[in-house]
C-alpha cells in the first residue's frame, strides 16, 4: 500500500482550506483541487469543499444565455 499523496505537499504548504480559510488539523484529510489562473495551480481544500461552485457556474451560464448574439 502506498501512503503517498500524489500531489502531496499542497496541504502542508498551505495549512488552510482554499475555500473556507479554516486551518487544517494535523490528521485531517484534505483534497486537492486544480484550477487555472493563467497556469495550472493546486489548492488544498476540505473534503466536500470545492472551488468549483455549481451556483456560480449556473449563474455564469445564465449570464451567457442573456447576452445578445449568444442565442442558446
Cell (9 digits) for 61: 451560464
Binding range to Zn ion, per CB under 5 A, among 10-18, 23-31, 32-40, 50-58: 10-18
Contact status: 46 vs Zn ion (CB under 5 A): yes
Contact status: 49 vs Zn ion (CB under 5 A): yes
Contact status: 11 vs Zn ion (CB under 5 A): no
Please write down the HEC assignment for all residues of 30-63: CEEEEEECCCEEEEEECCCCCCCCHHHHHHHHHH
Residue 45 backbone dihedrals phi, psi, to 5 degrees: -140, 165
Among 1, 20, 67, 71, binds Zn ion (CB under 5 A): 20
Interface residues with Zn ion (CB under 5 A) are 17, 19-20, 46, 49
Amino acid at each position: 500500500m502506498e501512503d503517498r499523496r500524489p500531489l502531496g505537499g499542497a496541504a502542508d504548504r498551505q495549512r488552510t482550506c482554499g475555500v473556507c480559510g479554516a486551518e487544517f488539523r494535523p490528521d485531517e484529510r484534505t483534497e486537492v483541487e486544480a484550477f487555472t489562473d493563467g497556469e495550472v495551480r493546486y489548492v488544498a481544500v476540505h473534503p466536500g469543499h470545492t472551488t468549483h461552485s455549481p451556483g456560480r457556474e449556473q449563474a455564469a451560464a445564465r449570464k451567457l444565455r442573456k447576452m445578445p448574439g449568444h442565442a442558446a
